[in-house]
Amino acid sequence: MAGAFREAPSDRPAEARLADVALPIPLPRPLSYLVPDALEGQVVAGRRVLCTVGARRVVGVVLGVRVGEPPSAAKPLISVLEGVTLPDDLLSFLTKLSSYYLAPIGEVIKLALPPVDREEARAVEDLTLFSSAKGIAPRKIQWVVPTDVVEASLKGGAPRVLAYVRAHGALPLSRLEDQFGGARATVKRLRELGLVTIEDREAPRDAYFAAPVERDVALEPTEPQKAAMTALAEALERREGATFLLHGVTGSGKTEVYLRTIAEAKRLRRGTIMLVPEIALTPQLVGRFRARFGDDVAVLHSALTPRERFDMWKRLRAGEVDVAIGARSALFAPIRDLGLVIVDEEHDPSFKQEEGVRYNARDMAILRAHMHGGVCVLGSATPSLETEHLARTGKAVKLRLPDRARARSMPSVEIVDLRRIGAGPTGDRRLSIVLHRAIEQTLGAKEQAILFLNRRGFAPSIRCEGCGELASCPHCTVALTLHKKRGGSMRCHWCDHEAPLPTQCKKCGCDRIALEGLGTEKLEDTLKSAFPDARIARLDRDVASGKDVEKVLDRVRAREVDILVGTQMVTKGHDLPHVTLVGVINADAALSIPDFRASERAFQLLVQVAGRAGRGDAPGRVLVQTYDPDHHAIRFAADHDVGGFLERELRDRRELSYPPFSRMALARVDSLDEREAQEATQILARAARAVARGLGEGPVLTVLGPTPAPIARVRNRYRFRVMLRSASREQLRQAALAIHAATAQLPRTVRVAIDVDPVGLL
Ligand code: ADP
Ligand code: ZN
């Protein structure tokens, strides 16, 4: 195409070389740019390019290059950036994802781009969203190294710290600080005494998991494990694309099946992506993978620095590493010759992204694997109804691991009917006499207990006893929760609004302010006074994020904790062998959420938390406290009857035409102005109804709304929605597209998000 590009639009040739570029702005389609002669050959799909949008310079990603008639407004590309090129297979996957979720391609591509390095960042004047690099330089960390000096008399914690350093040879200061409170001051003293030195060493590629691991050997599989491994190995070999549901009870050895299957994929020179729920990405799990595969595993966790992330990305892209493990975004890892995608705990809601591009990594994992003729494994002890339905309709093959691997029985589950069973010595009914005695027994036997309560904070609501007024967030239709930390403050869990606990009611002025309900903070307090000798730890979002979760779990594993209190965080796949008692404080809380999946979630939580009990040598006991002991989710969970639950719940869903027997899409609308939000939603609903009316015979497309969202206002924005439901994916898509098109008519002050296959309905 020599000479095809000219400045002046008037002598623009009929044909020119054009690059379709995805831009980091919410445009539904890529924009076309002219490829200047000088850049020909360099502009290929997946490359990042610098281009102009209006007066701005932005970095985009080339989706494809073609010869065609240039649009009259087409501008030339400015330059091509070296370094990052997205592979073709990833680009076509992202394009499909964008189309399925009706999400702007630029936003979708952003999910897959690594942070760029600094030199490149400098090349770009207006560095927009496509590069998130901030100061990526090699990082130095401080190591503490013991000397040969013999110690004088040391006081306080110093002897322990010194012994620890000597036992490890040398170790990062940060790890000492993790281990000992006040380690920094102690190290300073040891250094003054000449007992240790401090060295600056380059940070390892991945400082979080830098502890060395010993290689392990594969375990001799049980018969069901062997059968599952064989089926998966054969499917890998066939290269036809296949989906499996690995349904194994908690502790049945699913991880061993994953490890062997990954090894098999490696043998066939194919790469693996393994997705785990955010919270499950702990050094314990990662340690098991590193013990098997050494450093040939890229762990993509949130504690990585941009440089570490970029390094990992390049090594994966180059094929130096062929296994990537991470939370949902690891689905976009640039693995070479992808052959296997594993989704562990596939029922976990964290695979759904609830902002920006609202994709479901579990569903997209199936697509990504199939695009490569690869195998997708969805593993769970409590399969989602969607995945179970795939198995029942022949779209997935079910593999079962019916028993715990190390021949321990499942824990016994007892339902505690709070209508009949009274309070224990604390006088608080939520610590029933049965649960209280069970905790005593557990402590007496020097075993550990987990108590699960799905509310963080101290008291979930604050009410005036004079007039009944409930303290609520000024910005959201949400009750404020009292948190004791930092002197006691009322907090909104939706917008982080914080206010001191008032001494008087705002409305009637009386001073009888009552704290209602029970949160994890208060439960911890109650337990401390009821069991003064017990060592109690709490695990919820207020005390723990990322690394801290592992610290708490390490203390539990080291038996420095007798009772662990926590929210969902305690229900995930942790292997804590000395836990013999699990108490569910209030099983009804999860059932009361206005969502058709409430029973499913409650069931999954109950089975998962029960699965934490009795994983070691001593048998486990689970107590489930409830005011609704006949609810099917509670009954089936108590009987470990996953099959029974699935059967019953599928029947209910079919009767009501809920997913998986239909598909849903949600248009979420919000605005600072209530009326504007409602009217906008009305316009969208009308567009969808027009589609519904135009349909002939066949499956029905239901359009519900506009209705206010269950939480009608968040951060001062009024929220409305239109819900679409149909058994036909095509119908649903038509209606969603109509809504998408109709958003163009709305004022700019209205925000619309289209949520295809929504998971959280709040
Ligand atoms: P799951 O992921 O299904 O909850 P895990 O993979 O964590 O189960 O396994 C539970 C426990 O059983 C682990 O301690 C694991 O080492 C052990 N285990 C798994 N497979 C075997 C096997 N074939 N033989 C002996 N122990 C096993
Ligand atoms: Zn709020």
Q: What CATH number does residue 689 fall under?
A: 3.30.70.360
Q: Name the closest-CA residue to atom 16, ligand 1.
A: 253
Closest ligand to residue 471's CA: 2
Split at pLDDT 50, 70, 90, the class of 373 is very high
Highest-confidence range of 168-177, 207-216, 220-229, by mean pLDDT? 220-229
User: What pLDDT, in 10s, does the model give residues 443-455?
Assistant: 999 999 999 998 8
**Strand order in 498-500's β-sheet?**
481-483, 489-491, 498-500
CATH of residue 620's domain is 3.40.50.300
- Select from 419, 316, 293 the least CA-distant residue to 90: 316
Q: Name the closest-CA residue to atom 11, ligand 1.
A: 251
Stronger pLDDT, 126 or 481, i.e. the higher one: 481
Q: For the chain, how are helix, strand and coil distributed in percent, rounded to 5?
A: 35, 25, 40
Closest ligand to residue 258's CA: 1
Split at pLDDT 50, 70, 90, the class of 691 is very high
pLDDT, residue 154, reads 80
The least confident of 145-154, 345-354, 396-405, 753-762 is: 145-154
Strands annotated E in 685-716: 701-714
The dihedral built from the CA positions of residue 225, 383, 109 and 138, taken in this order, carries a sign that is: negative
User: What pLDDT, in 10s, does the model give residues 338-370?
Assistant: 999 999 999 999 999 999 999 999 999 999 999
Query: Do 392 and 527 reside in the same domain of the chain?
Result: no
Q: Residue 505: pLDDT above 80?
A: yes
Q: Is 292 a member of any domain?
A: yes
Q: Is 254 a member of any domain?
A: yes
pLDDT, residue 545, reads 65
Identity of the residue numbered 539: L
- Which ligand 1 atom is at minimum distance from the Cα of 573? 4
- Structurally, the chain folds into a number of domains equal to 6
Q: Is 218 a member of any domain?
A: no
pLDDT, residue 429, reads 87
Stronger pLDDT, 600 or 192, i.e. the higher one: 600
pLDDT, residue 40, reads 86
Query: Do 511 and 591 reside in the same domain of the chain?
Result: no
Query: Do 582 and 595 reside in the same domain of the chain?
Result: yes
Domain extent for 571: 412-455+519-653
Query: Do 101 and 53 reside in the same domain of the chain?
Result: yes
Q: Rounded mean pLDDT of 397-417?
A: 87
Q: Do the Cβ atoms of 19 and 5 come closer than 8 Å?
A: no
Closest ligand to residue 474's CA: 2
Q: Where a domain ends, among 472, 493, 517?
A: 517
Identity of the residue numbered 109: I
pLDDT, residue 2, reads 41
Q: Name the closest-CA residue to atom 19, ligand 1.
A: 253
Which of 406, 574, 607, 608 to mutate to test ligand 1, by most ligand atoms within 8 A of the CB atom? 406
Task: Find the 641 Cα to ligand 1 centroid distance in Å.
Answer: 21
User: What pLDDT, in 10s, does the model give residues 98-114?
Assistant: 999 999 998 999 899 88
- Which ligand 1 atom is at minimum distance from the Cα of 252? 3
**Strand order in 701-714's β-sheet?**
701-714, 717-726, 663-671, 751-756
Q: Rounded mean pLDDT of 12-21?
A: 83
The dihedral built from the CA positions of residue 461, 466, 469 and 473, taken in this order, carries a sign that is: negative
Closest ligand to residue 259's CA: 1
Long-range contacts of 416-425 (CB under 8 A, 24+ apart): 416/623, 416/624, 416/625, 416/626, 417/626, 417/627, 417/629, 418/625, 418/626, 418/627, 419/627, 419/629, 424/530, 425/530
All residues at 6 or more sequence positions from 595 whose CB lies less than 8 Å from its CB, including other chains:
601, 760, 761, 762
Closest ligand to residue 481's CA: 2
Four-CA torsion 209, 212, 217, 223, nearest 10 degrees = -30
Q: Is 135 a member of any domain?
A: no
Closest ligand to residue 714's CA: 2
Task: Find the 479 Cα to ligand 2 centroid distance in Å.
Answer: 8
Task: Find the 213 Cα to ligand 1 centroid distance in Å.
Answer: 18
Q: Is 93 a member of any domain?
A: yes
Q: Residue 119: pLDDT above 50?
A: no
Four-CA torsion 562, 567, 568, 571, nearest 10 degrees = 10
Task: Find the 325 Cα to ligand 1 centroid distance in Å.
Answer: 19
Query: Do 523 and 501 reside in the same domain of the chain?
Result: no
Mean confidence (pLDDT) of the chain: 87
Calculate the alpha carbon distances from 248 to 231, 398, 540 in Å: 15, 10, 27
Q: Rounded mean pLDDT of 626-644?
A: 94
Identity of the residue numbered 566: G
Q: Residue 749: pLDDT above 80?
A: yes
Task: Find the 472 Cα to ligand 2 centroid distance in Å.
Answer: 8
- Which ligand 1 atom is at minimum distance from the Cα of 254? 3
Q: Name the closest-CA residue to atom 20, ligand 1.
A: 253
- Which ligand 1 atom is at minimum distance from the Cα of 255? 6
Q: Do the Cβ atoms of 103 and 756 come closer than 8 Å?
A: no
Q: Residue 677: pLDDT above 80?
A: yes
The dihedral built from the CA positions of residue 224, 411, 607 and 350, taken in this order, carries a sign that is: negative
DSSP 158-224: HHHHHHHHHHHSSEEHHHHHHHSTTHHHHHHHHHHTTSEEEEEEEPPTTGGG-S------PPPPPHH
Q: Tokens in use for 530?
A: 């009821």
pLDDT, residue 82, reads 79
Q: Tokens in use for 94?
A: 């992202």
The least confident of 77-91, 136-150, 351-365, 440-454 is: 136-150
Split at pLDDT 50, 70, 90, the class of 207 is very low
Q: Where a domain ends, among 97, 129, 161?
A: 129
Q: Rounded mean pLDDT of 301-312?
A: 80
Q: Do the Cβ atoms of 618 and 667 come closer than 8 Å?
A: no
Task: Find the 724 Cα to ligand 2 centroid distance in Å.
Answer: 28
Task: Find the 499 Cα to ligand 2 centroid distance in Å.
Answer: 11
pLDDT, residue 227, reads 97
Query: Do 511 and 619 reside in the same domain of the chain?
Result: no
Q: Name the closest-CA residue to atom 27, ligand 1.
A: 405
Phi, psi of 270 (to 5 degrees): -125, 145
Task: Find the 482 Cα to ligand 2 centroid distance in Å.
Answer: 13
The least confident of 39-43, 475-479, 549-553 is: 549-553
Query: Do 448 and 493 reside in the same domain of the chain?
Result: no
Which of 247, 255, 259, 344 to mutate to test ligand 1, by most ligand atoms within 8 A of the CB atom? 255
Which of 217, 247, 250, 256 to mutate to test ligand 1, by most ligand atoms within 8 A of the CB atom? 256
Query: Do 523 and 423 reside in the same domain of the chain?
Result: yes
Stronger pLDDT, 209 or 116, i.e. the higher one: 116
Query: Do 638 and 691 reside in the same domain of the chain?
Result: no
All residues at 6 or more sequence positions from 545 whose CB lies less than 8 Å from its CB, including other chains:
none
Closest ligand to residue 499's CA: 2
Split at pLDDT 50, 70, 90, the class of 509 is confident
Q: Residue 303: pLDDT above 80?
A: no
Q: Is 7 a member of any domain?
A: no
Q: Name the closest-CA residue to atom 6, ligand 1.
A: 253
The least confident of 94-103, 197-206, 428-437, 527-536 is: 197-206
Q: Name the closest-CA residue to atom 9, ligand 1.
A: 253
pLDDT, residue 128, reads 42
Task: Find the 310 Cα to ligand 1 centroid distance in Å.
Answer: 33
Q: Is 2 a member of any domain?
A: no
Task: Find the 476 Cα to ligand 2 centroid distance in Å.
Answer: 4
b/e code 183-205 from CB counts within 10 Å (16+ = b): beebbebbeeeebbeeeeeebeb
Query: Do 670 and 632 reside in the same domain of the chain?
Result: no
pLDDT, residue 286, reads 80
Ligand 1 neighbours by CB, cut-off 6 Å:
219-222, 225, 248, 250-256, 405-406, 573, 575
pLDDT, residue 534, reads 95
Split at pLDDT 50, 70, 90, the class of 4 is very low
Task: Find the 498 Cα to ligand 2 centroid distance in Å.
Answer: 9
Q: Is 525 a member of any domain?
A: yes
Q: Where a domain ends, among 129, 150, 177?
A: 129
Q: Do the Cβ atoms of 735 and 724 come closer than 8 Å?
A: yes
CATH of residue 184's domain is 1.10.10.10
Percent residues over pLDDT 70 in the chain: 90
Query: Do 710 and 600 reside in the same domain of the chain?
Result: no
Q: Do the Cβ atoms of 425 and 246 come closer than 8 Å?
A: no
pLDDT, residue 609, reads 87
Q: Name the closest-CA residue to atom 23, ligand 1.
A: 221
User: How many angstroms from the chain centroid is the CA of residue 648?
Assistant: 28
pLDDT, residue 143, reads 79
Query: Do 247 and 229 reside in the same domain of the chain?
Result: yes
Q: Name the closest-CA residue to atom 5, ligand 1.
A: 253
Q: Name the closest-CA residue to atom 21, ligand 1.
A: 405
Q: Name the closest-CA residue to atom 10, ligand 1.
A: 251
